[in-house]
Structure 1
Amino acid sequence: MKEGDVARHHQQFPPEIQPTQEPSAHLQRQAERRAAVLQELNRFHDAAARLATANARLRLEQIDEGLHECLGILGEFLDADRAYLFINNLEERYWTNTHEWCAPGVQGYREALQHVSFDSVPGLAELFLRGESFVLTSLHDLPPSMAPGQAFLEMQGIRSMILHPLLTDGELLGFVGFDDIEDERDFSSTEQAMLSLAAENFAATLARQRQYQHVQQARIELESVNQRLREALEEVQRLARTDPLTELSNRRWMQECLAREAARRQRTPIPLSIILMDVDHFKMINDRFGHDVGDKVLRRLADTFRETVRCKDVIARWGGEEFMVMATDTGLREAENLAERLRHEAGRLRVPPLEQLSISLGVAEAGLNEEINRLIVRADRALYRAKSEGRNLTIVATTD
């Protein structure tokens, strides 16, 4: 070596620790695991976001569609074949499959899984009541206490499954579950965390739905009670204004109608007439044939009068065998014509054992400022004249 030259030394390594330009297999596996975890977390957050969006759109009036959408999101996240909700009846100890999502080509069992006994998979309900999930990677892993349920699960083609209880305020509402029918599989901690999160949302939604249904049912029952009360009130009001024998208006209701008509005439001068009618020889009918026949006569006459008067007229049993017609917007001549029709129709009636019926009538038109009581007095006097002059007559009242 010449003076001034720099010595170069080459480090020699044993063959087993020679450096390499490529990452070690260990680092490669770590990177792959981290990538898989990140991918799983991304899938988790994506599914959680979609689930939150679906829950936010959920309306109690359309809850079934919303729950089915949520099951579909979870089923796709878990790469499951079936996803479902079961609601329980703790008193009668059975489950009911209310909602179900199936992957394309997978057979559903919702219609077949109604009122399923708790004993179908023994111990499952007790597990849920303790707030525990049920994870089954293989039917061969069924605990001995649950072994009687293997045939029930095999009937649905289940190879693996995961179930989570739906609890709210310590009350078990049911469970949410996912099946695999092609392969046995494990469920990762991320998948189980997603299912736990979804179960909380489902439980809260079902609790709200139940409250909503209770409110709706209470509203329906209240409306039914109100309707019955309205009908009862209407019936009371009808009875208060109706004569029980003839089912015509009674005297009290006629007096109210006359008072209202009098008030109307003070605002607008319009004609008003009344017709008073009395059954001829009615006392003799009762004495000779009995009150049953007398009542029948009154009912038949009431039916005839009801069919003869106009829609705008009010007809009432005024008392005993007397009837009154309030003919609104009707002058004296028109009222007299109506009275004659009533008399004619009454004469055509045949009420065995009577051979003939007749009525007497008094007609009066209200004066411009005449009080109702005065009008009634004049019609009554005209009726008295009809009976005094031979009965079966219509007499028009004179003005005083």
Structure 2
Amino acid sequence: MDIRQHSSQFTVHVFTADVDMGAPIKVALSQAGYDAFYFQDPNLLENALKESAPHILVFSTQALYGTLAEFVEHVRKINDEIKMIAVATLEQFEILAQYGSNGFSDVVVEDKIAIDQRVLWSVDRVCEKIFLTYQNEQLFDDLEASKAIAGSVQASAPVIEASAPVAAAAQVEFISPRIGDYRSAQSKEDMVQKYLNNLPQMVCLFFKFLPTVRSFVATHATGIPASDIQGVGVQLDSADMKELNSQMAMGLLPSRFMDMLTEAFHFRPPKALPLYAHNNLEGVFVYSGEVNKQLSTAMTEEFSLMSLCYSNLVLEKRVDTLEVQDYVTELYNRNYYQKILAEEVSRARRLKQPLSVVKVALDDIYEIESSLGDAVRDELLRSVAAIITKTSRTNDVTCRTAANEMALILPHASKKGAAIRAERLRRIIEGTSFMDNGMKVSISLGVSEYPTLCDSAKTLDETASKALLHITDKGGNKICLYKAPETHKPEFQIPAE
């Protein structure tokens, strides 16, 4: 998602007595397209909040005349929908954490170095969340509408039956169970297979579309052994990608795709049924153009029914995914991280096994964003997330927990094992070339472990964050293992390493 396409829809108020801080923040927000206003006078701010409440209020804790609690309560009385971003010192982080459920969305460290870009980063993330929340609500509405349409199709069956006693009755009796069969699918792959199972005796293949690598890969087939499609696929070039949607709309395929189908499966000529879900190409069913008209008609009618149910399934999955997934990296989000971390600590306590957390941050992220833009930043985050996922164990959990922070939850991993894993990951990233121009980046990592270094899910998260912050302040591209205070006593002992 590019929030710049929607930033003009959001209003941001900036409140700080320090003009050297407030003015650059206001300018950066305005240049990014936000409807931004800067206030030094608390009375003028209050009037502005009452007249037209902003989506976001960025304020410096140093500008407050009363207590933080009084300020937060006052803003929430004016409008409890306002999201707040505080600019505060490191010492105030623990206090501000207590206001997480009171409209607080983020805290930015009070340091004038790149303060405008750091606040802009935070505002972007909050606005993206607001926009996605709205989108989520729309998805629910679309989902309910889709279910209502499907229900009305089945509910209208008796009327159709009465108006056309023989043909319509047979059609309704046939369609109703097929809708139920498709709606029983547990996944997109399951629904694709159900469609192929419902086809008459013929050869048909489904190729899943992988946009990130510009490829189609065969995943399902009917009429031929599954072993015959293993490893079958085609990669498109940039020119093919430009014409892909227009070709698919006409039921055509890129020439290299057609040549492969003709050579491998003797489709003459290959015919295509592209599968879309809410304007996103999911894949394509391909078959030979030599099939007779009656068979082709039956196939396309079945496809129309399946694609409607498929779109409905995708809506349901998207609604579920938005609740737990970060849309940029496709990792789990912070809400899921907090939930699963608490569960894993409870399990570790019960089994008397260690549990480690590794926090990961991309070095020089603000400089990358400022010089290369948001799109490059997001692509780098996605690439790093993909490497972390590929090098993880089955039971590891990886989440995006902040704008420039990913967290690895490592069950049954001691501090030594986690540190080794972190260093291996650091070296992999350091030795990998990213983007088309071979760009090099590095990461910093903070490591902590329960029960040796902390005593709860909360402190496990906090100590890993402290270790990460410490090493980033030292220049980055290193790992840091948190050191427990001498007063810490582990709840149980783990075997010596």
TM bucket, shorter chain: 0.3 to 0.5
